[in-house]
Amino acid sequence: MRQPVIVLLVALVWVGTGLPWMYPVNLTALTVQDNPVATSEESVAAGRTTYIRFCASCHGTRGFGDGSGAFSDTKPANLVDDEWDHGSTDADIFKTVAEGVPPEYAMEEWLGRISEEDIWNAINYLRTLAEQ
Domain 25-131 belongs in CATH node 3.30.1490.20? no
Question: Which run of H or of E encompasses 57?
Answer: helix 56-59
**Secondary structure letter of residue 82 according to DSSP:** S
Return all residues near 121 (Cβ < 8 A) that are at least 6 apart.
37, 43, 44, 46, 47, 50
pLDDT in tens, 24-43: 444 444 555 689 999 999 99
3-state secondary structure of 111: strand
| CB atoms closer than 10 angstroms to residue 54 | 18
Contact indicator for 109, 98 with CB cutoff of 8 Å: yes
Tell me phi and psi for residue 79, to 5 degrees: -95, 0
Contact indicator for 55, 69 with CB cutoff of 8 Å: no
pLDDT in tens, the chain (132 residues): 555 544 444 444 444 444 333 444 444 445 556 899 999 999 999 999 999 999 999 999 999 999 998 888 888 999 999 888 898 899 999 999 999 999 989 899 999 999 999 999 999 999 999 888
Indicate the domain borders of the chain. Answer: 25-131
